[in-house]
Amino acid sequence: EHQRLPHRLYTLIFPLDKTRVLLGMKKRGFGSNKFNGFGGKVEPNESIEQGAIRELREESGLCAQSVDKCGLLFFYFEDDPVVMEVHVFVTREYVGDVQETEEMRPQWFDIHDMPFKQMWADDPRWWPYLLKGQNFAGQFWFKADQVTITHEKLRAL
């Protein structure tokens, strides 16, 4: 059914090291006061991968030298006809120094001790797939409160 609705393309990228992931506390806008990966809208003149790399640099200071696709998420909000199509990546190869920006306050977390209580409600559902290196696709239907998931479909690819 999601093919009939207008979609907007987003990226979400997680920098990893051996035991940790860099998350950012979003300081403003959609999802503010939540920890998340880095990302945003894909611009018209860039690829999805380029968008992920650009957003990571803008929001964290890190410059990814390679990225790996790992998931595809569709979010439906009951009060919004536009579907969020979020392309999820990880990166293990990046240079530069982590810096706080106007949008994000970056912080490293142990990959097995995630701050899920301060993250979007879908994240604990698909995070285990990402950790296992298992690509995934998911659809989540949210109430207008942006907290309650009324329905979900999630599978390994």
Measured from the CB of residue 21, what is the shortest distance to ligand 6OG in angstroms?
A: 12
Measured from the CB of residue 119, what is the shortest distance to ligand 6OG in angstroms?
A: 7
* DSSP H or E run through 57: helix 48-60
Which residue, 94 or 142, has its beta carbon nearer to ligand 6OG?
Answer: 142
Nearest one of 100, 87, 92 to 40, comparing CA atoms: 87
Which residue, 136 or 142, has its beta carbon nearer to ligand 6OG?
Answer: 142
User: What is d(CA 113, CA 69) in angstroms, rounded to the nearest whole number?
Assistant: 23
User: What is d(CA 61, CA 64) in angstroms, rounded to the nearest whole number?
Assistant: 10
Residues in contact with ligand 6OG by CB under 6 A are 10-12, 29-31, 36, 39-41, 75, 84, 86, 120, 122-123, 142
Measured from the CB of residue 16, what is the shortest distance to ligand 6OG in angstroms?
A: 16
Which residue, 31 or 96, has its beta carbon nearer to ligand 6OG?
Answer: 31
Measured from the CB of residue 110, what is the shortest distance to ligand 6OG in angstroms?
A: 18
CA angle centred on 28, ends 153 and 23, rounded to 5°: 60
Q: Is the dihedral of CA 35, 36, 41, 45 positive or negative?
A: positive
- Which residue's CB comes closest to ligand 6OG? 39
